[in-house]
Amino acid sequence: MERGLNSSIDEGLIGYWKLAGDCQDYSGQDNHGICQGVLLDAAGPDGTRGQAALFNGRDSYIEVPHSPSFDFGTDDLSISLWIKTRDSLDDVIGDILSKFDPERRRGINFTVMHHAGCTSSQSNYRHLLFGIDDGRIEQDWTDCGRPGEGIFVSAMTVFDGSLHVGTCEPEEGQAGHVYRYLGGTDWEDLGSPDASNTVMAICVYQGRLYAGTARYDTRGSALAASPNENLGGRVYRYEGDKRWTDCGQLPDATATYALSVYRDRLYGIAMYSPGVFVWDGGTGWDYCGTPGDERSMALAVHDGFLWVSGNGSAGVLRYEGGTRWHFCGKQEDNSQTYSFAIHRGDMYVGTWPDGSVHRYEGGTDWLNVGRLGEEREVMAMTIYNGKLYAGTLPLAQVYRYDGDDNWRLTGQIDDTPDVTYRRAWSMAVYGGKLYAGTLPTGRVWSMEAGKSVTYDRELPSGWRHLAAVKEGTRLRLYLDGALVATSTDFVPADYELATDQPLKIGFGAHDYFRGSMRELRMHRRALSDQEVAELYRGQ
């Protein structure tokens, strides 16, 4: 049964949106919502209509105007609600709630991360993040070690509570490996799927870790040719204890380039040969056409479609089923489009050779939102605690997007002398921090903007109860009444969270929320473990 407003658990309540037929505030604080296209009579957990709000993932959200009750200052706070997400996804799940000023980097973010098209990997998939910020850098870029003997951290993803990377290890007798991060500068070797020199792509599909191998031509990064001539182009599934199961070869491929999940199917592209392919579940890969009659470079999922970026004149194309692709425009005179990111509901791509990022405006139109310093190529891009970050070549720099055409340098993470190119190629959000991998040092680096806590396991589909709590020096995340993640310590006085920005339910820095919500509460105090469990059991 639903809980009323007469129990001690409702002390400090500043917002209570049942989201059952309306978006009114039942806390007594009059923080009523303004509906922007949300269906307010959706079915609840028992299938009865009128018990939840359905967000379409395209343009719907609820805006709650600012009020003094939202001036959190440095106080404790809590957010709790039920959400429903689908198992088969054709879109980013998006933001649960935000009250964030992007210009000042001040406020709170609560989101479900889904980062496909992070160059060659699907780096985050159904991972929760609760973050606060007040324009702070808690940790500058810090060296997290060199996995194995790699020169290139060519792939990165978060799987089963850990950060995983793929490497290029190009010398005679070497091969590409997958490694799991153990903390500090330590890495655990999970083995080589095959004898080729690179693990170029990794992603999570149906709860398992998959890796795509490649014979990477190191001359493409202006390095000496690799003496390892063993071919890749295959995809493998990890079985534990350094064991990998062969899931087949992409047709005619010597190098797998990227992997992504769309509508519960695993898709892949090759590096040096054209075509998009979908796995048949055994060892076969079915042909899905050749977008733009060019080689493809990255895969992304957004607004109901699978998207691909191209090499040469291909630009960006949208999958229409079968072998059909719809051309969605080029990014000025750029010849390569390396990466995707979904930021504030829009699609962004990174390019070569002018080192600019472009935002999709619909049809075949793209808006140039700026060049990153004097760089030539934009590779990995990801959303982290309310902001968009991007890695570059030739200096392996990482920039933060501050709106309009403004990009701020956060650091250079590879300063190898006497080389032509340095890459900040791969990225993922893990353990509340942003991680990035490099070439040619083959090292992983991390930084922390503000303070975040992440749930680094896949959020199950269906109805789930979530709670995010800020108490004293820690942030906490709960799933179905149980504590699942706790942040590292911070100084509460460093985080003044008051902002006159509106509270947005179902929208934020990542994307419009795709799914259902009900029983959203905000407290201006910290809920205890017992209170979170009681809210879970009581609904």
**Which domain CATH number covers 228?**
2.130.10.10
Is 129 a member of any domain? no
pLDDT of residue 1: 36
Is 423 a member of any domain? yes
**Residues 95, 160 within the same domain:** no
Backbone angles phi, psi at 293, to 5 degrees: 55, 35
Q: From residue 14, give the alpha-carbon distance in Å to each of 34, 111, 178, 486, 525.
A: 17, 20, 47, 24, 10
pLDDT of residue 8: 86
Whole-number Å distance between alpha carbons of 350 and 277: 23
DSSP secondary structure letter of residue 227: S
Q: From residue 284, give the alpha-carbon distance in Å to each of 232, 269, 401.
A: 15, 14, 41
Given a contact cutoff of 8 angstroms between Cβ atoms, the answer to whether 382 and 341 are in contact is: yes
Which residue segment(s) compose the domain that 499 sits in?
8-115+461-538
Given a contact cutoff of 8 angstroms between Cβ atoms, the answer to whether 411 and 399 are in contact is: no
pLDDT of residue 275: 98
pLDDT of residue 322: 98
pLDDT of residue 4: 52
Q: How many domains is the chain partitioned into structurally?
A: 2
Strand-pair category, 39-42 with 77-85: unpaired
Backbone angles phi, psi at 218, to 5 degrees: -65, -15
Q: Provide the residue type at 264 as one letter.
A: D
Whole-number Å distance between alpha carbons of 278 and 250: 9
**Residues 78, 107 within the same domain:** yes
**Residues 444, 465 within the same domain:** no
- Name the domain boundary from 409, 428, 453: 453
**Residues 244, 319 within the same domain:** yes
Backbone angles phi, psi at 531, to 5 degrees: -70, -40
CATH number of the domain that 499 lies in? 2.60.120.200
- Name the domain boundary from 453, 488, 523: 453
pLDDT of residue 5: 57
* Residues 6 or more apart in contact with residue 469 via CB below 8 angstroms: 76, 77, 78, 79, 475, 476, 477, 478, 526, 527, 532
Write out residues in the chain with pLDDT < 50, as ranges: 1-3
Is 401 a member of any domain? yes
Is 272 a member of any domain? yes
**Residues 215, 362 within the same domain:** yes
**Residues 312, 206 within the same domain:** yes
- Name the domain boundary from 397, 431, 453: 453
Is 124 a member of any domain? no
**Residues 32, 110 within the same domain:** yes
**Residues 318, 420 within the same domain:** yes
Is 121 a member of any domain? no
**Residues 424, 482 within the same domain:** no
**Residues 435, 468 within the same domain:** no
Is 396 a member of any domain? yes
- Answer left, alpha or beta for residue 424, where phi above 0 means left and psi between -120 and 50 means alpha: beta
* Residues 6 or more apart in contact with residue 262 via CB below 8 angstroms: 89, 90, 299, 301, 306, 319
Given a contact cutoff of 8 angstroms between Cβ atoms, the answer to whether 519 and 25 are in contact is: no
**Residues 448, 491 within the same domain:** no
Sheet arrangement for strand 94-101: 34-36, 61-64, 503-505, 94-101, 106-115, 124-143, 444-455, 433-439, 423-430
Is 131 a member of any domain? no
Whole-number Å distance between alpha carbons of 384 and 446: 12
**Residues 341, 485 within the same domain:** no
